[in-house]
């Protein structure tokens, strides 16, 4: 039996993780969970899974739940400290980090200190402080198991391989909701249009990130840290069907790829069962003869400037990726709140990057400062 601590249980990745736990009750048990503000769903999860520890964002919500479930033996906690407590829950064998944004950084670092393996969906944590997370993981000998489908594909392609033989990582991109629109056509797109992703059903922030292509940019930085590959050897390829989830090209010219129908539960489950695989009866099998053809195109960096910003920030290093991530989180929040237009997400990120002088090898405090200062700047121009 594997005991799981799930951060972000009420989100898109969180609920799909619960699906896997539900389908495999003899293998997995939800020991601890965190939610944000979705109390209705939190109640449902508590009643179904009866975790031992529950953390929510707000203090009042925590007090209400504690009273409501006083008949059950559950410990309730809240706020960012609650997230850390959930991440470090002693009984948990593995932490699934599926919160959104750099709020996931502290719980990740603390869980690593507590020697927990981490199934990491929360890519913002690796973007904002990849060097600290990787160093801590190495020092504490814990595994970071990728959940992001591209990074899981690379991880799977690397099994039994020597990482020294890698030439290139090839990350595939579906293109997001607006892949066939020109930049001119993007001026007045609505929040609803942007939330309508052709291949994947995901949380709001990552769906917008897919439309701006920032998601792919964040994934390039995520791959750089997870696999320690320089940016020049991380490529992005447009692949509309989202069937090949990513590839690894080796020195001898062989390319290993991982394929499947788009379903995040597959990489989530692999992170939980690694190095084993268990059946996944409800997964839709890939019927390649029916699909017939797969398509690939070069990425257009002019059409998707956020991807260029991410490569530039990654190469600049230091606090630059922190600024990229914080500016993006704040700008996407502004777009979702209808304060700024879609294309302003890009221009605001560019402004934040241009005004920042990177500090190399930043400490956690410097990262927190750069993150807070950048969010403040974006809010001031929104």
Nearest distance, CB of residue 58 and ligand NDP, angstroms: 9
Could you say whether residue 117 binds Mg ion (CB under 5 A)?
no
Residues in the chain: 382
Q: Are 226 and 144 in contact (CB under 8 A)?
A: yes
Residue nearest to ligand NDP (CB): 11
Nearest to 94 by CA among 160, 7, 8: 7
The per-residue DSSP string of 117-139 comes to EEEE--HHHHHHHHHHHHHHHHH
Q: Are 5 and 95 in contact (CB under 8 A)?
A: yes
Site map for ligand NDP, 157-196, x if CB under 6 A? Answer: ----------------------------------------
Q: Which of 62, 65, 99, 133 binds ligand NDP (CB under 6 A)?
A: 99
Could you say whether residue 13 binds ligand NDP (CB under 6 A)?
yes
Nearest distance, CB of residue 228 and Mg ion, angstroms: 19
Could you say whether residue 209 binds Mg ion (CB under 5 A)?
no
Nearest to 69 by CA among 91, 46, 88: 46
Nearer to ligand NDP, 34 or 319 (CB): 34
Nearest distance, CB of residue 41 and ligand NDP, angstroms: 7
CA-to-CA dists, residue 279 to 20, 264, 282, 287, 380, angstroms: 11, 15, 9, 18, 50
Rounded to 5 degrees, φ, ψ at 275 are -85, 5
- Which of the stretches 142-150, 236-244, 360-368, 373-381 binds Mg ion when contact is defined by CB under 5 A? 142-150
Could you say whether residue 124 binds Mg ion (CB under 5 A)?
no
Neighbours of 371 (CB within 10 A): 24
**Any known ligand binding at 210?**
yes
264 binds, among Mg ion, ligand NDP, none (CB under 5 to 8 A by kind): ligand NDP
CA-to-CA dists, residue 145 to 8, 18, 95, 117, 274, angstroms: 17, 17, 10, 8, 8
Counting beta carbons within 10 angstroms of the beta carbon of residue 314, is it exposed (0 to 12), middle (13 to 18) or buried (19 or more)? buried
Could you say whether residue 148 binds Mg ion (CB under 5 A)?
yes
- Which of the stretches 83-91, 147-155, 158-166, 225-233 binds Mg ion when contact is defined by CB under 5 A? 147-155
Q: Are 157 and 256 in contact (CB under 8 A)?
A: yes
**Any known ligand binding at 197?**
yes
Question: Which residues have C-beta within 8 Å of that of residue 299, sequence separation ≥ 6?
Answer: 173, 216, 236, 237, 238, 307
362 binds, among Mg ion, ligand NDP, none (CB under 5 to 8 A by kind): none
Rounded to 5 degrees, φ, ψ at 244 are -85, 120
Site for ligand NDP in 57-96 (CB under 6 A): 57, 83
**Any known ligand binding at 36?**
yes
CA atoms within 13 A on the CB side of 24: 24
Q: Are 65 and 71 in contact (CB under 8 A)?
A: no
Nearer to ligand NDP, 134 or 359 (CB): 134
**Any known ligand binding at 219?**
yes
**Any known ligand binding at 242?**
no
Could you say whether residue 211 binds ligand NDP (CB under 6 A)?
no
Q: Which residues bind ligand NDP (CB under 6 A)?
A: 8-14, 34-38, 57, 83, 98-100, 103, 121-124, 148, 200, 202-206, 264
Binding residues for 1-deoxy-D-xylulose 5-phosphate: 123, 149-150, 174, 197, 210, 215-216, 219
Binding residues for NADPH: 10-13, 36-38, 122, 124, 203
């Amino acid at each position: 039996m594997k005991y799981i601590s799930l951060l972000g249980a009420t989100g898109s990745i969180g609920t799909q993780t619960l699906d896997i736990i539900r389908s495999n009750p003899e293998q997995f048990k939800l020991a601890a969970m965190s939610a944000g503000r979705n109390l209705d769903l939190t109640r449902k999860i508590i009643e179904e899974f009866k975790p031992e520890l529950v953390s929510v964002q707000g203090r009042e919500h925590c007090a209400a739940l504690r009273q409501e479930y006083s008949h059950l033996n559950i410990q309730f906690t809240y706020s960012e400290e609650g997230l850390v407590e959930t991440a470090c829950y002693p009984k948990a064998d593995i932490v699934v980090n599926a919160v959104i944004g750099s709020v996931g950084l502290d719980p990740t670092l603390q869980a690593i200190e507590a020697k927990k393996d981490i199934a990491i969906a929360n890519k913002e944590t690796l973007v904002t402080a990849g060097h600290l997370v990787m160093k801590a993981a190495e020092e504490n000998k814990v595994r970071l198991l990728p959940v992001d489908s591209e990074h899981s594909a690379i991880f799977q392609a690397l099994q039994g391989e020597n990482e020294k033989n890698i030439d290139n990582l090839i990350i595939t991109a579906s293109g997001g909701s607006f892949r066939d629109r020109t930049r001119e056509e993007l001026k007045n797109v609505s929040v609803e249009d942007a939330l309508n992703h052709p291949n994947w059903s995901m949380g709001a922030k990552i769906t917008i990130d897919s439309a701006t292509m920032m998601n792919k940019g964040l994934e390039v930085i995520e791959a750089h840290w997870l696999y320690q590959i320089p940016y020049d050897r991380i490529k992005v390829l447009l692949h509309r069907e989202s069937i090949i989830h990513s590839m690894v090209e080796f020195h001898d010219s062989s390319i290993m790829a991982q394929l499947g129908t788009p379903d995040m539960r597959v990489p989530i489950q692999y992170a939980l069962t690694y190095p084993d695989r268990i059946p996944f009866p409800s997964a839709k099998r890939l019927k390649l003869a029916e699909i017939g053809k797969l398509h690939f195109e070069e990425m257009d960096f002019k059409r998707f400037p956020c991807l260029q910003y991410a490569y530039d920030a990654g190469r600049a290093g230091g606090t630059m990726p922190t600024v990229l991530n914080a500016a993006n989180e704040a700008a996407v929040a502004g777009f979702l709140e209808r304060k700024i237009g879609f294309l302003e997400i890009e221009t605001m990120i560019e402004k934040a990057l241009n005004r920042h002088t990177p500090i190399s090898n930043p400490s956690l405090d410097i990262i927190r400062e750069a993150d807070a200062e950048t969010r403040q700047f974006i809010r001031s121009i929104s």
